[in-house]
């Protein structure tokens, strides 16, 4: 990661905003400034910042220690998976699995995260769903809960 | 004066209801824990609790009291880790390690803990009286603001937040723009036009503020933690030795506590200068003043004044930063920006009108700040051991817990899978932005202020029929433009001037 990549990403985002926003038009307008001006103003300033960063470069971030990138990718995968099965599998099963996998990523082995996952997910389900009235999905365990 | 007392008694009436007292105690406790844990600060704690508070249907003043208690609690908690293991528990307690840890090494750990708890309390107390005196005055003044003044005021807030970032203000501006861009997604309230929704029904209402906050301050933070996996830390709180500071130490540190509290409060009121800036400036100030007068000063080697100065300053600043949010509707720090976002969930827009329209909310919050601080002072002296033991909870249990509570919070807002996936995606983007040293506070301020800023700009130009001159026509807006320019231009000029004055010395 360095300033040049950041700058180019900002330019791309600004270009996308201008492309998507240049023909925004209100069918009836009572005001001089329609829905288009503000997003385009933002995109213009963003493009200027991006240009400056891309041209001047520098700001190279130090590389991650070996293995870190794999762990981060794995963690991202677990969070996406958690999001995908959250409703279908239900809170308790999804959270127990997520705890096991994330716990392993953070160096917890098998036993600790497994026990922590099952106990923690049941505990949090009771706390939020039953005590605090924050409704959580029951999913596969629906018949028993 | 009578008005103030009347408002305060109304505020304490709100603060002393059983529910609000309970919530303040829970918030203080949770906030201290968040502060103790390195890597988690007030902004993360507040971000995680907002959706939970909202989903529990807490009334707005109770939710705000909870969040405020977490915020001040984290400022108390950070110092525990700093003193005991030389690792700042949160950003604002970096300076506390400098003299706090040496004191602990000299066997004065418990004394340092109680003395810094007192310094924190005093800082908050000064800021509390500051709020009571200045906030109503400022709110009355701001009532006269029109949309043009408001727009320029928000520009000023962004300039403050990015101008103080040191060498790379361009990244601050970029971060603010990304935040503002996120706020434009969804249906435009004035014209009904869909902007950047890509025909997705999930995006037509815009990206929820909670999704962005959780993604940036919980998910991306956890991804970053994976760069260096560390085990739980075992910490020993010294058992022997006296726990409380004595009268001589109290008198010895009192001038520094008073001075730093005032400094911290002043910096807290300024938008942009958060608690970490305040504690750094207060420490540097105290070092300079004391070393001129006292040849025995041993700053950096365990001087008690070096411990109390940053602690009173960061608490005074945290409490003081409520002033711009409550009176102007323009938050002064990342954490108050997140809190203001919480209010918008309740369809409450902070600003000068709030003092007249919702006095129970404003004064209940102000009174609760004092209540939470008293609770924290009481909790922090005998319960230090309990808080320190939190540090030994291993990350393999802590991180899944944080992920889980964050996801519960996001799910409780709309109950859609789309939001959960969006959190993961923005979290990953946030991780890359952190790697690129992008500041997160301007980004979140952009998300929170985006709609207000656009509405005020459009309203102002509607009044003037499209003439941009209206943005420069009143004395107040011209003053804010000048201040904005000053905040942006002065720091680099000052650095250049300092460099030039240093150069001859180096040349010799």
List the single residue in B with minimal CA-CA distance to A45: B177
Are residues B436 and A1, on separate chains, in Cβ contact within 8 Å?
yes
Shortest CA gap A141–chain B (Å):
18
Are residues B458 and A33, on separate chains, in Cβ contact within 8 Å?
yes
Q: Which two structure tokens, joined as six digits, stand for B122? A: 């005093």
Rounded (5°) CA angle B12-B61-B352: 90
Are residues A6 and B438, on separate chains, in Cβ contact within 8 Å?
yes
Of the candidates B117, B82, B83, B89, the one whose C-alpha atom is nearest the C-alpha of residue B33 is: B89
Smallest Cβ distance to A86: which of B400, B417, B453? Answer: B417
Domain boundaries, chain A: 3-56, 68-143
pLDDT score recorded for residue B110: 87
The β-bridge partners of B194 are B187
Shortest CA gap A57–chain B (Å):
12
Contact B326, B433 (CB under 8 A): no
pLDDT range class, residue A98, cuts 50, 70, 90: very high
What rounded mean pLDDT belongs to chain A? Answer: 89
pLDDT score recorded for residue B62: 94
pLDDT score recorded for residue B65: 94
In B, which residues are within 8 Å of A91 by CB distance? 408
pLDDT score recorded for residue A27: 74
Residues 88-127 of A with CB under 8 A from B: 91, 95, 98-99, 102-109, 112-113, 116-117, 120-121, 124
Smallest Cβ distance to A102: which of B178, B400, B420? Answer: B400
Q: What's the ipTM?
A: 0.93
Are residues A32 and B421, on separate chains, in Cβ contact within 8 Å?
no
Residues 406-425 of B with CB under 8 A from A: 407-408, 411-412, 415, 417, 420-421, 423-424
Domain boundaries, chain B: 2-507
Shortest CA gap A58–chain B (Å):
11
Q: What separation in angstroms does the CA of B303 have from each of B101, B286, B288, B294?
A: 10, 11, 13, 12
pLDDT beneath 50, residues of chain B: 503-508
Smallest Cβ distance to A83: which of B223, B420, B437? Answer: B420
pLDDT score recorded for residue B229: 61
pLDDT tens digit sequence for B259-289: 999 999 998 888 766 788 888 889 988 888 8
Are residues B178 and A46, on separate chains, in Cβ contact within 8 Å?
yes
Question: What are φ and ψ of residue A69, in 5° steps?
Answer: -65, -40
Question: What are φ and ψ of residue B187, in 5° steps?
Answer: -75, 135
pLDDT score recorded for residue B506: 39
In B, which residues are within 8 Å of A1 by CB distance? 432, 435-436
pLDDT score recorded for residue A50: 93
Are residues A134 and B412, on separate chains, in Cβ contact within 8 Å?
yes
| CA distance linking residue A69 with residue B345, whole number of Å | 36
Buried b (16+ CB within 10 A) or exposed e, B204-242: eebbbbbbbbbbbbbbbbbbbbbbebeeebebebeeeee
């Amino acid at each position: 990661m360095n300033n040049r990549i950041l700058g180019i990403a900002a330019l791309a985002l600004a270009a996308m905003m201008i492309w998507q926003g240049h023909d925004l038009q209100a069918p009836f307008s009572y005001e001089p400034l329609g829905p288009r001006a503000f997003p385009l103003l933002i995109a213009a300033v963003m493009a200027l910042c991006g240009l400056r960063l891309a041209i001047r470069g520098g700001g190279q971030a130090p590389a991650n220690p070996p293995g870190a990138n794999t762990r981060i990718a794995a963690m991202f995968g677990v969070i996406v998976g958690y999001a995908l099965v959250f409703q279908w599998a239900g809170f308790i099963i999804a959270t127990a699995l997520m705890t096991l996998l994330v716990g392993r990523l953070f160096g917890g082995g098998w036993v600790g995260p497994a026990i922590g996952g099952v106990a923690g997910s049941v505990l949090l389900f009771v706390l939020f769903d039953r005590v605090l009235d924050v409704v959580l999905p029951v999913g596969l365990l629906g018949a028993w809960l | 004066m009578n008005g103030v007392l009347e408002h305060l008694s109304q505020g304490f009436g709100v603060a002393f209801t059983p529910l609000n007292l309970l919530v303040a105690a829970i918030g203080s406790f949770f906030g201290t824990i968040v502060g103790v844990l390195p890597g988690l600060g007030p902004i993360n704690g507040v971000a995680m609790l907002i959706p939970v508070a909202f989903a529990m249907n807490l009334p707005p003043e109770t939710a705000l009291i909870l969040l405020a208690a977490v915020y001040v609690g984290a400022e108390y908690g950070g110092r525990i880790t700093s003193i005991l293991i030389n690792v700042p528990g949160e950003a604002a307690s970096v300076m506390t390690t400098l003299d706090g840890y040496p004191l602990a090494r000299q066997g004065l750990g418990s004394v340092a803990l109680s003395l810094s708890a007192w310094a924190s309390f005093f800082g908050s107390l000064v800021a509390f009286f500051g709020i009571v005196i200045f906030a109503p005055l400022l709110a009355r003044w701001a009532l006269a603001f029109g949309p043009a003044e408001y727009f320029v005021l928000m520009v000023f807030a962004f300039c403050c937040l990015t101008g103080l970032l040191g060498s790379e203000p361009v990244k601050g501006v970029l971060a603010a723009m990304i935040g503002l861009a996120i706020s434009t997604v969804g249906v435009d309230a004035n014209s009904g036009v869909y902007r950047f929704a890509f025909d997705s029904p999930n995006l037509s209402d815009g990206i929820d503020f909670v999704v962005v906050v959780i993604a940036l301050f919980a998910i991306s933070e956890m991804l970053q933690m994976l760069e260096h996996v560390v085990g739980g830390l075992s910490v020993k709180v010294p058992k022997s030795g006296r726990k409380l500071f004595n009268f001589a130490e109290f008198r010895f540190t009192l001038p520094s506590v008073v001075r730093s509290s005032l400094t911290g409060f002043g910096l807290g009121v300024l938008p942009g200068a958060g608690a970490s800036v305040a504690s750094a400036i207060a420490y540097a100030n105290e070092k300079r003043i004391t070393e001129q007068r006292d040849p025995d000063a041993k700053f950096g080697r365990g001087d008690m004044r070096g411990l109390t100065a940053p602690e009173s300053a960061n608490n005074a600043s945290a409490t003081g930063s409520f002033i711009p949010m409550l009176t102007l509707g323009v938050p002064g720090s990342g954490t108050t920006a997140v809190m203001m976002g919480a209010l918008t969930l309740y369809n409450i827009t902070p600003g000068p009108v709030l003092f007249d329209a919702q006095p129970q909310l404003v004064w209940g919050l102000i009174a609760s700040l004092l209540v939470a601080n008293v609770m924290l002072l009481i909790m922090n002296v005998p319960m230090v051991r309990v808080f320190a033991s939190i540090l030994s909870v291993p990350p393999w249990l802590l991180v899944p817990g944080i992920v889980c509570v964050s996801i519960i919070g996001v799910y409780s807002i709309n109950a859609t899978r789309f939001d959960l996936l969006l959190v993961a995606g923005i979290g990953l983007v946030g991780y890359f932005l952190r790697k690129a040293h992008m500041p997160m506070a301007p980004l979140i301020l952009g998300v929170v202020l985006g709609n207000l800023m656009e509405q005020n700009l459009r309203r102002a130009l509607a009044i003037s029929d499209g003439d941009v001159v209206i943005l420069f026509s009143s004395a107040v807006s011209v003053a804010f433009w000048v201040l904005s320019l000053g905040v942006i231009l002065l720091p680099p000029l000052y650095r250049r001037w300092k460099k030039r004055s240093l150069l001859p010395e180096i040349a010799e």
